[in-house]
Amino acid sequence: MIIQKNDPNHLNQKAWRIRNQVSTILTKWGLLPRFKRWRLTQDPDTGMIVLFGILNNRYIATHTSTPFSDYFDWRLLHDLANDLQVQVVACNSDGLRYAFILDRGQFGRLPTHVDYPFIDNGKLLVRVVYSDNEQSVPVPPVDPAMDDHTLVHQGVGAFLKVFDDIKLRDDAALQHAAQNLPEIVVINEDEFHRRVAEHRRIAIDRGVNVSGLKL
């Protein structure tokens, strides 16, 4: 579906519908639909429009025993994509979030998972997964003159531009301002989920004060 960028009412209605449906779908999967905030954003250069749903890691960790990876189970991502009719990207950043791609703009295939920022040997990286478990969402045709490397860099670069609401851990990006675009590293889903598991431990640690009582 192509969203008319000059029709903000239609866009806002779609965003509200997604918010309501996501809660229903997560509940059906036995997951607590607790979000910290939502953000609708657009890259004016490429036309990409993304609705971010940022999970409340701390609340979920201190009120449930659910592994965070359950929120990014590929079968759940498929259900979300099928019911909402948008691509859903699992994101591990300053928190765990879903990115609902309302309009791809000029891009075709996008990552299914994004881990950003990631610092390795002083280098700022964005780690991405292109899952074999593709979501059944219509994808626009790809320019045959563009190779896979170019497509990956353009798609990931545009996606990161709408990540501007993230306060990167320890201001990592500011320390690497000379990099116009972080180096892109393709990883597998298992590696992504190992990073996601770290968030549960961190969230539990932050949810307990010095006296050992949950906040």
Per-residue model confidence (pLDDT) at position 143: 47
- Joined together, the tokens standing for residue 164 give 């501007």
Is 80 in contact with 90 (CB distance < 8 Å)? no
Q: What is the mean pLDDT of residues 140-167?
A: 64
Is the confidence at residue 163, as pLDDT, over 70?
Answer: yes
Is 205 in contact with 212 (CB distance < 8 Å)? no
Query: Residue ranges per domain, the chain?
Result: 8-206
Helix ranges (H only) for the chain are 8-28, 57-63, 74-84, 148-161, 172-175, 189-206
Indicate the DSSP class of residue 100: E
* Residue pLDDT, tens place only, 47-99: 889 999 999 999 999 999 999 999 999 999 999 999 999 999 999 987 899 99
Q: What is the mean pLDDT of residues 160-183?
A: 58
Question: With pLDDT > 90 as the criterion, what percentage of the chain qualifies?
Answer: 44
The CA distance from 213 to 67, in Å, is 21
How are beta strands 113-120 and 87-92 bridged, if at all?
parallel
pLDDT band at 22 (very low <50, low <70, confident <90, very high): very high
More confident residue, 172 or 112: 112
Average pLDDT, the chain: 80
Per-residue model confidence (pLDDT) at position 164: 59
* Residue pLDDT, tens place only, 106-149: 776 788 999 988 888 878 889 999 877 665 555 554 444 444 66
73 SS3 class: coil
Q: What is the mean pLDDT of residues 165-174?
A: 48
Is the confidence at residue 215, as pLDDT, over 70?
Answer: no
What string of DSSP letters covers 3-46? PPTT-HHHHHHHHHHHHHHHHHHHHHTT----EEEEEEEE-TTT
Per-residue model confidence (pLDDT) at position 211: 33
